Copies of this chain bind each other. A is one copy, B any other.
Amino acid sequence: MAHFAAATAVRHRDGGPEFDVELDPQWAIGEKLHGGYLLAVLGRAAGAVTPDHPHVTAVSATYVTPPEPGPAVARVEVLRSGKTLTQVRAGLLQEGRSRVEALFTMGRLTDEDPHWTDLPPVKATPEENCFLSPEDPPGAGLRVPLMSVVELRLDPEHLGFALGKPSNRGLLTAWMRLADGSGWDPLSLLVALDALPPVTYDLGIPGWAPTIQLTAYVRRLPAAGPILVSQKAGEVGGDRMDEVCHAWDSKGRLVGQATQYAAVRVPA
């Protein structure tokens, strides 16, 4: 089940709106299944009913109640199908209750260069000089099984927090590969766009920052090789934070981007 494709497999129930899925405990932070992984499962189900538009190009999700590892149901409904996109509403259910709700725009991606961009790759330390994030990060206070399936190498430039010297920029960057050796694709990118540690670590704020809502756009098919991912805090206040995330492929092209609205507890 460590393989991404197996961990996100879906089985259609009699051509109806429901798919049986098996949520894999390895794609988790502590006991909580990873938010990007759950979207990848829903995106796989959405793609199964939109053959003309096989790729997730945009998704917005709200995390209602954390699902447990094990059997669950992905329910998908096509809202509208057009020439270049299909809009899909999806829900992840356990015990008949909605755990994640998501709105997908499915399309067909290519690997073409952009017409115009203002999102060049961030400056980063070469992958071989970055630090592989372990399953038991020192000081995190919880196991991160996700790090056994995603090889995440943190840029030491932003690791001051681990030495008690956060930079106060609210920025983390990392190189990422799938541990199963498969290349990145539009579904696995949804994992990468939410896989960095909380950027609040770089602001000297300990503790997890649970995602409330996440929005991700996939912009093109990634080239082979690792991706570079940066995550940045915007503003922290009122026990809430926004973060933006960008991912570039090995050719330096933007492949995905995300924004999230997260809960954060600022120590008094």
Chain A interface residues (CB < 8 Å from chain B): 57-58, 60-62, 64-65, 79-80, 84-85, 87, 89, 98, 101, 103, 105, 107, 109-110, 112-119, 168-170, 203, 212-213, 215, 217, 219-220, 232-240, 242, 244, 254, 257, 259, 261, 263, 266
Given contacts A60-B215, A87-B64, A215-B215, contact A261 B105 (CB under 8 A): yes
The answer for the CA separation of A64 and B79 in the assembled complex, in Å, is 7
Among B61, B168, B237, contact of A219 (Cβ-Cβ < 8 Å): B237
Report the separation of the CA atoms of residues A237 and B220 in the bound assembly, to the nearest whole angstrom.
Answer: 9
Q: Report chain B residues within 8 Å CB of A237.
A: 112-117, 219-220
B57 close to A60 (CB less than 8 A) = no
Instruction: Tell which of A115, A116, A118 has the most Cβ of chain B within 10 Å.
Output: A116
CA distance A170 to B118 in the complex (A): 8
When all copies of this chain in the complex are counted, the total is 2
Extra inter-chain contacts (7) besides given A57-B261, A60-B213, A118-B234, CB under 8 Å: A62-B89, A103-B213, A114-B235, A116-B236, A118-B233, A219-B240, A220-B238
Instruction: Name the residue on B nearest A103 (C-beta).
Output: B62
> Given A109-B238, A215-B60, A237-B117, does the pair A259, B259 have CB atoms closer than 8 Å?
yes
Question: Which are the 10 A-B pairs with shortest beta-carbon distances?
Answer: A60-B60, A114-B237, A117-B235, A62-B103, A215-B215, A58-B261, A116-B236, A115-B236, A58-B213, A64-B79
C-alpha spacing A234/B114, complex, angstroms: 11
Contacts of A85 in B (CB 8 A): 212
- Is the beta-carbon distance between B118 and A212 smaller than 8 angstroms? no
Q: Are A103 and B105 in contact (CB under 8 A)?
A: no
Closest to A116 in B: B236
Q: Which of A107, A170, A235 has the most CB of B within 10 A?
A: A235
The answer on a CB contact under 8 Å between A238 and B64 is no
